[in-house]
Amino acid sequence: MKTKILYLEDENYLGRIVKESLGSRGYNIRLVTDGATVMRNFEQFQPDICVLDVMVPNVDGFTLGKSIKAADPKMPIIFLTAKNQTQDVLEGFNSGGNDFIKKPFSMEELIVRIENILLLNNPRGNKQESVKLGLYTFEPEKFLLSLDDEIHKLSHRENELLKLFAQHVNQQIDRKLILKSLWGDDSIYNSRNLDVYIRKLRVYFEGDPRVKLVTLRGVGYYLSIE
Supply the CATH number for residue 150's domain: 1.10.10.10
Q: Are residues 28 and 111 in the same domain?
A: yes
Answer yes or no: do 119 and 134 share one domain. Answer: no
Shared domain for 119 and 147, answered yes or no, is: no
The answer on 157 and 137 residing in a single domain is yes
Asked if 95 and 15 sit in the same domain, the reply is yes
**Claim to verify: residue 139 and residue 216 sit in the same structural domain:** yes
pLDDT (0 to 100) of residue 66: 93
pLDDT, tens only, 105-154: 888 888 888 887 887 766 444 445 688 999 999 998 889 999 998 999 99
pLDDT score, position 78 = 92
Amino acid 124: pLDDT: 47
| pLDDT at site 122 | 60
Boundary-marking domain end, from 83, 107, 125: 125
pLDDT of residue 208: 94
Element (H, E) at 118: helix 107-121
Domain with 172 in it: 130-226
How many beta carbons lie within 10 A of that of residue 184, not counting itself? 10
* Long-range pairs, 201-207, Cβ under 8 A, ≥24: 201/158, 201/161, 201/162, 201/165, 204/145, 204/152, 205/133, 205/134, 205/136, 207/135, 207/136, 207/147, 207/150
Say which CATH number the domain at 52 has.
3.40.50.2300
Question: Are 187 and 173 in a shared domain?
Answer: yes
Same domain flag for 90 and 150: no
Count of structural domains, the chain: 2
Whether residue 87 is found in the same domain as residue 153:
no
Are residues 116 and 154 part of one domain?
Answer: no
Shared domain check, 48 and 119: yes
* Average confidence (pLDDT) per 10 residues, the chain, 226 residues: 89 92 90 95 94 91 93 91 71 82 84 80 56 92 91 92 87 84 80 93 95 90 90
Give yes or no: residues 117 and 164 share one domain: no
**Which of 125, 146, 163 lies at the terminal end of a domain, its last residue?**
125
Record the pTM.
Answer: 0.60
Q: Of 92, 125, 158, at which residue does a domain stop?
A: 125
CA–CA gap between residue 111 and residue 44 (Å, rounded): 24
